[in-house]
Amino acid sequence: MASRDDPAPRAIVESGYDRIAEHYLAGKGPLDPALLDLLEDLARDLPDGAPALDLGCGAGVPVTQWLAERFAVTGVDLSARQLELARRHVPGATFRRADMTAVDFPPASFSAVVACYSIIHVPREEHPALAERIARWLRPGGRFLANWAIGAWEGAERDWLGWGAPMWWSHYDADTNLTLLRRAGFTIERAERLAISGETWLWVLARRP
């Protein structure tokens, strides 16, 4: 099992995305209507120009791009190559190369936070502390949208999708994911098992009261 002192999983994820960024991007289509619906709920009531954070923003397509059409977006990612692509796709956003479990922002910095397909790569024993940090970075009333797995699992694939690099994931089950969000102070507004691009994940829209 990974621990905070064990750099191996992070190194696998960082170098993996550096190597497969173009493959991952090539597989991205337009925004799925179900994800668009969640994003519209996340953005509900927010003024144009509100500060939004995209954790594990990847190449910025399509979610960072969508957010940047209305909001002042900060994108955070571990992978230098992903960020190179994101800067190209979303020139108006601000990007930081950082680990989302180590980066810090002042309390109440953001009106919205998203993490699409990214917390699934963070060692699961760090998920509770990460949820607490995200709650702290949000303004009261701000919303957090992310996806988690439905079943508990942790492990790696040697050659993910035949793209020539290993990858690593870490998951709790759906109930545990919801419990840790509630413990971090979030109210769950939506929790849905959605099949998007053929993969079913738990999508959660949570609100800081």
Ligand X SMILES: C[S@@+](CC[C@H](N)C(=O)[O-])C[C@H]1O[C@@H](n2cnc3c(N)ncnc32)[C@H](O)[C@@H]1O
In the list 12, 20, 50, 76, the residue contacting ligand X (rule: CB under 6 A) is 76
Q: Which is nearer to ligand X, 13 or 46 (CB)?
A: 13
In the list 2, 56, 113, 186, the residue contacting ligand X (rule: CB under 6 A) is 56
CB of 45 to ligand X, least distance (A): 23
Give the C-alpha separation, 154 to 169, whole Å: 6
Residue 199, classified by CB atoms within 10 Å of its CB into exposed (0-12), middle (13-18) or buried (19+), is exposed
- Is residue 160 near ligand X by the rule CB under 6 A? no
Tokens read off for 203:
């999508």
The two counts, helices (H) then strands (E), for the chain are: 6, 9
Q: Which is nearer to ligand X, 74 or 118 (CB)?
A: 118
**Could you tell me if 172 and 124 are in contact, meaning their C-beta atoms sit under 8 angstroms apart?**
yes
CB of 138 to ligand X, least distance (A): 18
**Could you tell me if 166 and 16 are in contact, meaning their C-beta atoms sit under 8 angstroms apart?**
yes
Select from 119, 169, 111, 174 the least CA-distant residue to 143. Answer: 111
Strands 94-97 and 187-196 come out as unpaired
- Is residue 121 near ligand X by the rule CB under 6 A? yes
Q: Cα dihedral angle (117, 65, 191, 174), rounded to 10 degrees?
A: 10
CB of 22 to ligand X, least distance (A): 12
In the list 2, 12, 13, 204, the residue contacting ligand X (rule: CB under 6 A) is 13
**Cβ-closest position to ligand X:** 58
CB of 38 to ligand X, least distance (A): 12
CB of 185 to ligand X, least distance (A): 22
In the list 77, 85, 90, 127, the residue contacting ligand X (rule: CB under 6 A) is 77
Q: Which is nearer to ligand X, 99 or 154 (CB)?
A: 99
Q: Which is nearer to ligand X, 168 or 186 (CB)?
A: 168
Amino acid at 162: G
